[in-house]
Chains A and B, each alone.
Chain A
Amino acid sequence: MTQVQTTIAIVGCGGLGVPAAWTLALAGAPRLVLIDDDTVEVSNLHRQILYDGTVLGQSKPDALRAALQARMATVDIEVRQGRLSSDTLVDLLAGCDAVFEGSDDANSKFLVNDWAVAQPRRRFASIAAAIGRRGQWMAVSPESSCYRCLFEEPPPPELLATCQVAGVIGPVVGQVGALAARSLWAVLNGQPDMAHGALVRLSPRGLLRTPVQIARDCRCGRGQPC
């Protein structure tokens, strides 16, 4: 797939999505689709670094589009207001070739995973998460192992730690978002990347990354066990 044709969706324009969108724009992504249904709040400002006090209350994808275009006017950016679900997925991801998933919704991560590995269209995704001083991400494609090979199903909501409960450090979530976007860009361009089919964990000390190879082993919508 050539870069010229690529449309990349950013699902979740928060702590992970902001550095991811900035990184992809710097990498040369020609077209981004920003997806979120949230607005900017004061509690976001410590980690969602392209927002500031002048955009409080604004829609996050609108504020992110403005911040990115102020820095790189050549990037074509479309805003789609909404939250990814099985009902909205087809509309929100229409025309996209790749997705960066950085929302705080576990179901959304599995939806994006299944969207990326579904045949016959060749699509890609990078699925990221961060909490406290730790973070992880995985890049998936039709030929790689995928999120379901590791986690099988979304966990019950009551078992999920969120940054509202466990906290999160801005620079950590920033590194995870940016590095996960970098992995997506590499996979999209046919370059090797340590996160392709592997779960990469970021050390609490930063930038020290540990890839854990994931064997293909699931029933992830490809019609047969991987």
Chain B
Amino acid sequence: MLVRDPSHLYERHGRQLLVTGVQFDGQQQLFALGAAIAHDTSQLCTIAAEAAARYLVGAGLGHLLAPSAWARTLTDIDPELQLADTQANLPVPCVHIHLRQRPHGAEAELAWLGDHPRSCLLLWHSSSGVADAVALGGAVAQLVLDASLGLQPLPAVVAINLQDPLNPQHSSEAPAQRLGDNLPDQPWWPTVEQACREAWPTEAAGTLVRGADGAVTVRLAPASHSSQHFVLPSEFLTVPPLAVWHSHPSGGTTLSAADAAWSVHDPKARPVQLVLASSASAIADFRVYYYSALAGRWLSEAP
């Protein structure tokens, strides 16, 4: 289907049409596709969203939902842009992007993402400042374009740390390692349970490491690293752990966006997480999560 006049297409998009993966068919595809960009109210995310939207509209994305004041100016870039006011007005399939600077409180978005395969939650590392907004906006736009053109799968969660050149590494092809069929019967379980009790009401965190003899040992993160949200010291990852575990004191076993982002973006981490719902006296519940690179999201295995 020819969406736009070829003379308009070559004049406006000639530079882009030359690039492998776009070309004439890809450009026509972009004209027919849409994206929704949501962001939190931080200055970083607002400017990054604007930059991303301007790159997408410049590239010829046909439909956009961006409920921000700056969105009204986007038709000055491309008068043929269709600005949507609700998701129902967007074409299907459509890429959904959520930009957040702070991962806490993103559980609802992550749950929503689980049911929407063409959606992505982007989290900025805490070191990001407003000066990073344009670079991050470009990265967001590239994610959307690559997903729209079928060049790259859209990851469910991307955590971006511009201080780390290897970031974002949002998926891993390493096969998930199984922790065992009945975890409370494993020799290492009492150590983890005791650590959760002693740390309560703050989080306990650590890794499970398999030694040369095959035995699994527990490494505990220092308390200072787990008081608010678990961040493992880098030396914990010099040897790839069997799993990363942490507790949710008086909480559930849902993998939060922050949990997902940490383990996904760290290139040394193995894609297995054990989340423990702890009380003052015991582990009330637990769940193991495996990251599926093919599915592009975390999969959980019920205990």
Q: Any chain A CB within 8 A of the CB of B162?
A: yes
Q: Which of the residues A164, A169, A207 comes within 8 Å of B160, measured between beta carbons?
A: A207
Contact A206 B76, CB 8 Å, known A45-B12, A46-B60: no
Contact A23 B135, CB 8 Å, known A45-B77, A46-B58, A207-B167: yes
Which bracket fits the contact residues of A?
35 or more
Q: Any chain A CB within 8 A of the CB of B111?
A: no
Q: Any chain B CB within 8 A of the CB of A65?
A: no
| Interchain CA distance A205-B12 in the complex, whole Å | 24
Q: Which of the residues B11, B55, B165 comes within 8 Å of A49, measured between beta carbons?
A: B55
Q: Which of A90-98, A105-113, A140-148, A208-216 lies at the interface?
A: A208-216
Residues 173-226 of A at the B interface (beta carbon under 8 Å): 174-175, 177-179, 182, 185, 194, 200, 205-211
In the assembled complex, which residues on chain A have CB atoms less than 8 Å from the CB atom of B12?
A: 42-43, 45-46
In the assembled complex, which residues on chain B have CB atoms less than 8 Å from the CB atom of A178?
A: 132, 134-135, 138
Residue of A nearest to B8 (CB): A42
Q: Which of the residues B77, B137, B145, B167 comes within 8 Å of A169, measured between beta carbons?
A: B145
Contact B142 A171, beta carbon cutoff 8 Å: yes
A201 to chain B, nearest CB (A): 10
B88 to chain A, nearest CB (A): 27
Q: Any chain A CB within 8 A of the CB of B79?
A: yes
Q: Any chain B CB within 8 A of the CB of A2?
A: no
| Interchain CA distance A222-B78 in the complex, whole Å | 48
Residues 139-183 of B at the A interface (beta carbon under 8 Å): 139, 141-143, 145-146, 152, 160, 162, 165-169
Q: Which of the residues B47, B55, B73 comes within 8 Å of A170, measured between beta carbons?
A: B55
Contact B59 A206, beta carbon cutoff 8 Å: no
Contact B58 A170, beta carbon cutoff 8 Å: yes
Q: Any chain B CB within 8 A of the CB of A152?
A: no
Contact A171 B134, CB 8 Å, known A52-B76, A208-B166: no
Q: Which of the residues B16, B21, B54, B152 comes within 8 Å of A168, measured between beta carbons?
A: B16
Contact A206 B143, beta carbon cutoff 8 Å: yes
Residue of B nearest to A71 (CB): B47
In the assembled complex, which residues on chain B have CB atoms less than 8 Å from the CB atom of A182?
A: 131-132, 135, 162
20 inter-chain pairs at a CB distance below 8 angstroms, sorted by A residue, are A23-B134, A23-B135, A27-B129, A43-B15, A47-B55, A49-B51, A53-B77, A53-B78, A132-B20, A168-B15, A170-B58, A174-B51, A174-B135, A178-B135, A178-B138, A194-B165, A206-B139, A206-B143, A207-B139, A207-B167
On B, residues with C-beta under 8 Å from A are 11-22, 47, 51-52, 54-55, 58-60, 73, 76-79, 129-135, 137-139, 141-143, 145-146, 152, 160, 162, 165-169
Which 4 A-B pairs give the minimum distances between C-beta atoms?
A: A167-B18, A174-B138, A178-B135, A27-B131
